[in-house]
Structure formats: C-alpha cells, structure tokens
Amino acid sequence: FTDLEGSTALWEHNRRTMPTALARHDAILDEVVEAHHGVVVKHRGEGDSFFIVFPRASEAVAAALAIQRALQAEPWQTAQPLRARLGLHTGEAELRDNDYFGAAVNRCARIRGIGHGGQVLLSEVTAALARDALPAGADLVDLGEHRLKDLARPEHIFQVIAPDLPSDFPPVVPLDMHPHNLPIQTTP
C-alpha cells in the first residue's frame, strides 16, 4: 500500500498545481509497478493511496525503492514535494471481483499507516522473504515489534534503507505509543 503524506494540506495550499502533481504521481507509480511485474489493484483506494500486488516479495521491495527514488527525483510544482509512505506485507487474501480482501490486506494497510513520507516499512514475513534478494546497496533496519490498530497480533516491523534515499525518520507511531489504561489484548 502507498499513501501520500500530508496530502490534505498539499491540496489546500496547492489547489492549482496539485491535480497535475497527483496525475504525475499516479503515472510514476504505474510505470514503476509495471516495470517490476506488479499489478495495481486500486488507484486511490483511500484518497491518494495505491493498492498494489506483486508475485514476489523481492519485486515488491525493489518497486518500493524505485517508487521512492522516482518521487524524490521529480521536480514537483507544489510548495512541498510529494512524499509517499509505503507498507509491504505478504499473506493470503481472498480475490473477489478483481479486488483482494482479508486479514493480510488489513495488516498491510496498518503497516503503511504507521510510516512517514519517504519511508518503506515491511512486515516480518515480507522481510524474511526479501532479505536474500534485496536490491544492491539496500538493507533492512529492525524497528521492533509493534501493536497495530485493531489487530490482535503485534507485528515485527522492518524499514528498507538504501544509500541514495532518506533513512532518518521519526519513530513509527503504532497503537502502543498512545497511552491508555486498557489491558494488552491476549492472543487467541
């Protein structure tokens, strides 16, 4: 899953240039996804997000890095550059009417949701599958285990880094970062 960071503010402050910028963003993602053997399931499933599937976790990671590089290199005509946060997860899902449903889809969306613009986050299973086939110069940073909104089982999160991309981000903000007095959910 992808999502543009701060897109509401971008639309508010760039009313004239944002339609063109978003069209360019969409074209970049379409080009990169096709080059890496992926399929866009939904353009703007939620606002300005993309839902993309790949046959292999390693291709998803390579595409995520290519997306970040392309977005970073683009000379945006907006007050701030467009920065996407990406979440990757590998799992089983139900295919119905050319759309995917199920726990794996929800987990991927939650992983994306705790990221920051320019960041690529992976679930533990995706990291394990892609680890031995990372693109040249790329590496994984262990961000630890986190509880994610509405999910009973915590997720071990990894960040993909590459020398030509930003890698210093604020900590992810999962569910367990918000203080509360509720007991921790037990696993089934």
> What is the pLDDT of the chain when averaged over all its residues?
90
Q: What are phi and psi of 20, to 5 degrees?
A: -70, -40
| Band of residue 45 on the pLDDT scale cut at 50, 70, 90 | low
* Distance (Å, whole) CA 120 – CA 122: 7
Average pLDDT over every residue of 105-119: 94
Q: Could you read off the pLDDT of 60-91 as tens digits, one per residue?
A: 999 999 999 999 999 999 989 999 999 999 99
* Distance (Å, whole) CA 187 – CA 46: 29
Average pLDDT over every residue of 28-47: 88
Q: Quote the pTM value.
A: 0.89
For the cut 70, the answer to whether the pLDDT of residue 188 exceeds it is no
Q: State the pLDDT at residue 48.
A: 84
